[in-house]
Structure 1
Amino acid sequence: MRRPVRKAIFPVGGLGTRFLPATKAMPKEMLPVVDKPLIQYAVEEAKAAGIEEFIFVTGRGKTAIENHFDREYELESVLESRGKEKELKDLTSLLLEAGSVTYMRQQEPLGLGHAVWCARNAIGDEPFAVLLADDLIQAGTPCLKQMIDNYQDTGGHLVAVMDVPREQTNRYGILDVVSEKGPLAKAKSLIEKPAPEDAPSTLSIIGRYVLDPSVFRELDKKERGAGGEIQLTDALAATLENVDFHGLRFDGTRFDCGSKAGFLEATIAFALERKDLGGRMRDILKKYTK
């Protein structure tokens, strides 16, 4: 029986420059899709997968994230006095168990690998998950739950993957696949943002990882990769002689909420799924797409 995946890292230290001026004073992870911020979707996905400890790697100006998952006694009191039971329930459901949340500062924006490395002492020597809030996934069974269920068979490193158009391989970490079994693809290596003509496949990593702690030994070296940043994919690739690596073609739809178009698409898709909004949203779309 493999050790359970109990801890998750949420790298939330990015500047969100693609959404300026909206993100000048508000973290990009707090941008709402319908009525919930991106980071809340990620935390709810982790909770549904059985995660018990939540580690946020933050940067300057990210206190809104801490406040979002904390008590707001004045607001709770007002909602209770006005009989707004649903709103009060929605608010209190955000709370994470006392002692289960850690916030730590990434003092320099040196890349995803560096953000994960910042959480090394909170993880220790056990498998862990990484969730990027920019990647919002709509799925019947939460993506991370699918991954952790499969991790019991694979062990090692397991990442969520999807096929992308070959001309877009230079935007992603790409797997060099050696075999496939159902939704699982076993890889012998991975390459960060290869040119389309150099990409070994079109199977790309998206923002969900279940990782063996051996990756920290490589991240400790702080070697710079693409863009002059410490790349998580480079550290993972350096462990593959000793650690199995699999990609899971998850069941669901991924929205790239790091882009404006992807964020708008996600808002429409999640609104259409809602019983209280779906009909009205369809009417609105018809109005503007005639």
Structure 2
Amino acid sequence: ARGAQVTDVAVLVVAADDGVMPQTVEAINHIRAADVPMIVAVNKIDLPNADLAAVQQQLLQHEIVPEELGGETIVAPISALEQDGLEELLEMILLVAEVEQLWADPQADFVGVVVESSIDPSEGTLATILIRNGTISVGDIVVCGASWGRIRRLRNWRGKSVKTMAPGHPVEVVGLSDVVEAGEIMQLADNTKQARSLAEEAQQTERERGLMGQAEVQLRQLQRQFGPEQAKELNIVLKSDVWGSAQAVEANLNKLSKELDEIQISVVHNAVGEV
């Protein structure tokens, strides 16, 4: 879901032999929730039992109408193994980007979106970001939510250190003061004083939200104490290695809490660090 939120164009990959699977439906729902353009890539068309027509019919059941059937969704048959249709798929991606006017300016103000964040024992806080606009360089002072810092190192998707990174690319950032949540916006600051001030403001906002959450928990406790139905409450302190795992576990716990009448699950603290 987080990936779809920071995506400009989503490529839904469906196997030509297996067709639409449960995980395919889940991906479709994430893409729709993010409201981004979608291209369907039907892979494994080189297999003897590949059935493109059957896949298109299955897509229709989920309200995805291919262009060949009078709809607006591009369906590109490909074979990753044989490398067939890949050039055509890239052309379709560029076409959709042009129609949607998906452009970025390397000279504009830098804006990045956090995809993942974790703590490394030797390097400290790591944050993987997707650059939406502008350029980021080693030595830049950045602020991201309640965290800030001077960038000590940048690594591309191959793990190779780089000095700068342009828009449209993921990059791993080393140098933040603390772990940041996925989805946070990273921007440049003029100096360390400004970065620290913006981070402190964000920390204060988070602190106020936390206090509001504690008050809500206390209110629910009073309601159960004096109400006719007294449900047991399970308070959980959650800690994981990366924010993606923490958010996924918390979301599932909250979902489970709504389904259970006899137990109320409350995540009182959620953090990232060494487990």
Task: Using structure 2 for the length normalisation, give the TM-score.
Answer: 0.36
Higher strand proportion (structure 1 or 2) = 2
Q: TM-score w.r.t. structure 1 length?
A: 0.35
Higher relative contact order (CA 8 A, sep 6+): 1
The structure whose Rg is larger is 2
